[in-house]
Structure 1
Amino acid sequence: MSDPRALRDAFGAFLTGVTVVTTVSDEGAPIGFTANSFTSVSLDPPLLLVCLAKTSRNYQTLMTARGFAVNILAEDQKDVSNTFARPVEDRFAAVDWRAGPFGSPVFSDVAAWFDCSAHDRVDAGDHVILIGKIEAFENSGRTGLGYARGGYFTPALTEKNLLANVDGSLCLGAVAERSGEILLVPDGDDGLTLPFFDKAESESMEALEAHFTAEIGLSIRTGLLYSIYDDTNAGRQHIVYRAALGEGVPKVGQLFPLQQLPLDRIKDSAVRETVKRYGQESMLGNFGIYFGNQEKGRVHAVAKKG
C-alpha cells in the first residue's frame, strides 16, 4: 500500500481550480468549505460532482441536504479560499453572498457559481462523491484561481512572466468572440486580419479596450493573453488577447463563425496561424499562449479559463 502522504502529494501534481462548496443546515445556517475535487459530469442532464471526506465536519449535513452550490473562485479570491479552508467561526462574514435560486449560498465576484439539487451520493472509500444536478448557474467571465503542489497560481502571473520579455514598439490585438463567431477586419490590401491598434508608450495594456470601442464601435472585455510574437520583418511586437465582444453591429469588419473561418483571405501568416489555432482550441475549450516570432515559437500551456 502506498504511503497516504506521498499519494496525496502525487495527486497534488494535477493543476485544479479552487471552489467553495456551500449548503444550509437543517436550522437554515449557511455552511461551506474549500474544495478542489470538482469536475463537470454531464451536459444532458446538467450534472457536476465534488468529493467530500467522510471525516469532514460537514459530512452529515451534506448527506441529507436537498442541494449544494459550487462557487468557482476568481484569481483574486485566495483569501476566500483560505477562510473556508480553516476553522473560522463565521466564514460567511468574509464574503458577499446570497441564497441561490435553489437555496444554497452563492458568492459575488466569483468566476462562476452553480446551484444544484442533490442528484446522487456515491460511496468512494474514505470520501463520498456528491453528484449535483445544476438548477441554476452564473458565469461572470472572470478568470479562475488555480491550485497545484500545495500552492495557488493564477493565469495573470503567467501573463506577467511572459510580458516581462516584451519590449519595443507594441501592437495590441484581439480575438474578439461572440456566440461562436470572431471579428475580422480589412487589412488594407483586400484581405482580412484581426483588429490591431498601436499602443502609445504612455498607455497601459488596458488601452486595447478603449481603442477597440473607438474604431470598431463595439465594446470588448479582454481576457487572457493569447499570442505574443515579434514581427522581425517590421521590428514590432504583437500582443493578442482573447476577448468577449459586446452586442451590436461593428462599424468595421464582420463576424465569421469559428467553423467557417476564411483563412485563405488572411494574408499575414502569423495572424492566419493565430486565427486557425483559436478555431481549433475553441473546439476543445483549452487555450494556450503562443510566444515567439512570426515564423516559429511555442505554445505555453496555461490553466483552462472556464
Structure 2
Amino acid sequence: MSDFDSRELRDAFGSFMTGVTIVTAVSKSGEKVGFTANSFTSVSMDPPLLLVCPAKRLSSYDVFADCEHFTVSVLAEDQQHASNTFASSKGDRFSEVAWFEDQHGVPVIEGAVTYFSCASQQKIDAGDHLLLVGQVQDFKTTEKLGLGYAKGGYFSLGMERQAEAITHRHSTQVGGLVECNDQLLLKEEDGFFSLPQGNLIPESSSYQTLKVVLETLAVEAEIGQVFSVYEKRASGHFVAYYRAEATEEKAPAGYRYVNIGELTSLKFASDDVASMIARYAEEKRHGVFRLYVGNESEGDIR
C-alpha cells in the first residue's frame, strides 16, 4: 500500500486531458454490459491492438474478465448524456442510449465518433484494474469531434474553438467565474454584484486577457474552460466568461467570496450575468459544466 492520498492521486491522474469512451460486452447468458472509460489507448498497429482498463469494483467486471469480444465507442462532443448514463450503476443503461450490434452481437453506441470491434487478445491483472488488450477486427470512424474530459469535467473542442474564434472577430469583454472552497469571487458595488472582467487586450486571446485581469487583481487562479460566450445585441459586443479555480481564498479590495448556495439570492448588475450565475450554481450542484454560445436570451448549450 502507498502513502498517497487516493483523492489527490485521482485528481493528479485527471489532469491529463483525454477523450471519453463507452466499453461494452455481452455475457455468456446474453446480458449486455458497459461502462464509461477514459483509460483507453492504442497499443499496436501490427497487429492492431488497443487497451482498456475495467475496474474490479465494476458490477460487470466478471463479464469483461471472461469476454471473448468487446467494443469501444469513442463518444462525440454532444454525447455527455451517454457518458453519464454508463458512468452510473443505476437502471437499464441501454434503454436510455441508442445503440446497434456489431458482427459479434456486442453493442456499439449510435452516433459515436469512432467505434472499434475487438477480440480479447490478452488480460493482465493490474492492481485494482484489469488490463484488457483487444485486437481490432473492425472499426468505423467519422469526421465528428470527440468529447473531452479533464480535471473532473467535460469539454467540447468544437465549441471551444467556436468561442475563441468569436472573441477574435468582435470587440469583447472577458470575465472569470473564479471559485475557491465552493465560493465564487464577486465584485460588490452599491448593493449589486458583478464578476471580475476587462476589455479584450488587442492582439491577445480571451484567455490571455483574463490572465492579465486576474494578475492585476492579485488573484492567483488556474483558468479552465470557457463557460459562456454571448452577444449583447444592443451594443453588438461579445462577452466571454471562463471558469477558474483560485489557489487561496483571498479577495481583492471591493470583492468578496460568496457561497455558491447563496448566489441566486443576490442582485446582479445585469440580467445576463444573473442568468449565467444561476446556471453556474445549478451545474455546480450537478457536477457537470456546459458551454453556452448565443446572445443574452437564447443560444446553444453543450
Q: TM-score range by the shorter chain?
A: 0.5 to 0.7
Q: Is the 8 A contact 1:18 1:34 kept in 2?
A: no
Distance 1:17 1:271, change over 3 A: farther
Matched, 1:19 2:21: no
Distance 1:165 1:171, change over 3 A: closer
Q: State the shift of 1:196 in Å.
A: 0.9
Partner of 1:107: none
Partner of 1:67: 128
Q: 2:266 aligns with which of 264, 267, 290?
A: 264
Partner of 1:290: 292
Select between 48-57 and 282-291 the one with higher mean Cα deviation.
48-57
- Whole-angstrom distance in 2 between the partners of 1:174 and 1:300: 18
Distance 1:190 1:233, change over 3 A: farther
CA RMSD of aligned residues (A): 3.8
Q: Is the 8 A contact 1:169 1:237 kept in 2?
A: yes
Structure 1 residue runs without a partner (length 5+): 1-6, 9-13, 22-31, 42-46, 71-83, 88-109, 112-139, 145-153, 302-306
Q: State the shift of 1:232 in Å.
A: 2.1
Q: Deviations over 1:189-244 (max 9, x none)?
A: 44111111111221122324432332321212121111111112333210011111
Partner of 1:251: 252
- Whole-angstrom distance in 1 between the partners of 2:60 and 2:171: 47
- Whole-angstrom distance in 2 between the partners of 1:69 and 1:260: 44
Q: How does 1:94-113 map to 2 (within 5 A)?
A: none
Q: State the shift of 1:160 in Å.
A: 0.5
Letter in 1 for 2:298: G
Q: How does 1:154-165 map to 2 (within 5 A)?
A: 155-165=156-166
Q: How does 1:193-204 map to 2 (within 5 A)?
A: 193-204=194-205
Q: Deviations over 1:155-206 (max 9, x none)?
A: 22321034434532111111111221111113x5441111111112211223
Letter in 2 for 1:177: E
Q: Is the 8 A contact 2:186 2:256 kept in 1?
A: yes
Distance 1:161 1:214, change over 3 A: closer
Letter in 1 for 2:129: F
Matched, 1:239 2:244: no
Q: Deviations over 1:119-169 (max 9, x none)?
A: xxxxxxxxxxxxxxxxxxxxx73866xxxxxxxxx6223210344345321
- Whole-angstrom distance in 2 between the partners of 1:160 and 1:36: 31
Tell me, what secondary structure is at the counterpart of 1:250? coil
Distance 1:157 1:35, change over 3 A: farther
Letter in 2 for 1:141: K
Distance 1:158 1:289, change over 3 A: same
Letter in 1 for 2:204: E
Q: 1:34 aligns with which of 51, 56, 61?
A: 51
Partner of 2:186: 184
Letter in 1 for 2:236: G
- Whole-angstrom distance in 1 between the partners of 2:164 and 2:248: 30
Letter in 2 for 1:226: F
Letter in 2 for 1:215: T
Q: Deviations over 1:51-101 (max 9, x none)?
A: 536232333x33xx552389xxxxxxxxxxxxx8779xxxxxxxxxxxxxx
Partner of 1:226: 227
Q: State the shift of 1:20 in Å.
A: 3.8
Q: Is the 8 A contact 2:225 2:243 kept in 1?
A: yes
- Whole-angstrom distance in 1 between the partners of 2:130 and 2:183: 31
- Whole-angstrom distance in 2 between the partners of 1:299 and 1:15: 28
Distance 1:256 1:264, change over 3 A: closer
Distance 1:264 1:143, change over 3 A: closer
Distance 1:68 1:246, change over 3 A: same
Partner of 2:139: none
Partner of 1:141: 151
Distance 1:36 1:176, change over 3 A: farther
Letter in 1 for 2:52: A
Q: 2:122 aligns with which of 38, 55, 58?
A: 58
- Residue identity (%): 17
Q: Is the 8 A contact 2:187 2:193 kept in 1?
A: yes
Letter in 2 for 1:18: N
Structure 2 residue runs without a partner (length 5+): 1-24, 27-33, 42-48, 69-119, 137-147
Distance 1:262 1:254, change over 3 A: farther
Tell me, what secondary structure is at the counterpart of 2:229? strand
